Amino acid sequence: MGKIAFVFPGQGSQIVGMGQDLFEKDEQAKKIFQKADEALSAPLSRLIFNGPQEELTLTVNAQPALVTTSYALFQALSEAGIKPDYTAGHSLGEYSALAASGAISFEDAVTTVRQRGEFMEDAVPNGTGSMAAILGMERGLLSEVTAEISSKGEPVQLANINCPGQIVISGSTEGVRLAGELAKEKGAKRAIPLVVSGPFHSELMKPAAARLQEVLDSISVNDAAVPVISNVTAQPIHKPEEIKEKLIEQLYSPVLWEDSVNTLLSLGVDTFVEVGPGKVLSGLIKKIDRKASVYSVSDQESLQNTVQALRGN
């Protein structure tokens, strides 16, 4: 058997009720949800289990909610003896990956992403920035499209390079609209506007990055016990200074997800476990490499099935 990577989902995977069966049946998981409530001085777990979905989806709630649920599932996997050789996370998921790798404490991860969510919300006035998924166009051509629109004064850039034929762009609302139209003229299959509250992973997030720097300087960051693949470079990072630097750059840089998965494959990973709600990353990984073994762990049942399958290997 090759190596195992744990991958952690980002914003958009949150769903009311996630992690609840774990909370009810697993003492360790229960403690993690309680720790999150304490760290934030807020009833986060109640919002996670009972909703409403609209409130859970707000960036400031979705980010700590996903880190908490993913971390509780990670702990349950660890207790069952399933350990990763590498970790990676999609955008926000990188914080879950860093907590799982021991680079930051769970409490610091939760409080940092709550603030990160606030900074991202505040960076750009509502409605002035947006994102869209461009399907069926390769990145070189799409980069030319975004450069052309940006040169006319409407900033837009590649934000998430997810898998072949699926790239998200981000920038000013008008820039994203114009780039979507131009991409279709040049052969893209579709441009799908995303329901997000801002132009994440674009230069417009630089004001948020400056504020995040202060928060990261105030928490302790350790060497990662398990290498984490950075969104910004798609390469393993270990050292505290590098980890902080890449988390700040991550706010306004593209998430190189396709490259990160290819890096993991080149490092001998053949088994990916998506740790958290939904199957977004599992789907992307399968599009990048059909031969990879992919499991998703989102509740008690999928946890047990995955543990059985991996122990059997």
**Residues labelled as active-site residues:** 91, 201
Question: Can you list the positions of beta strands (E) in 136-291?
Answer: 156-163, 166-172, 190-193, 228-229, 236-237, 269-275
In angstroms, rounded to a whole number, what is the distance separating the alpha carbons of residues 105 and 100? 9
For helices 27-40 and 106-123, angle between their N-to-C axes, nearest 10 degrees? 50
The amino acid present at 202, given as its one-letter code, is S
Which residues does residue 34 pair with via DSSP β-bridges, in sequence order? none
Characterize 163-189 residue by residue with b for buried, 16 or more Cβ atoms within 10 angstroms of its Cβ, and e for exposed.
beebbbbbbbbbbbbbbbebbbeeebe
Structure tokens at 303: 């946890």
Q: Strands across the sheet with 190-193, in order?
A: 156-163, 166-172, 129-135, 190-193
| Distant-in-sequence contacts of 301-307, Cβ < 8 A, 24+ apart | 303/22, 303/73, 303/76, 303/77, 303/80, 306/77, 306/82, 306/273, 307/77, 307/80, 307/81, 307/82
Residue 237 backbone dihedrals phi, psi, to 5 degrees = -125, 145
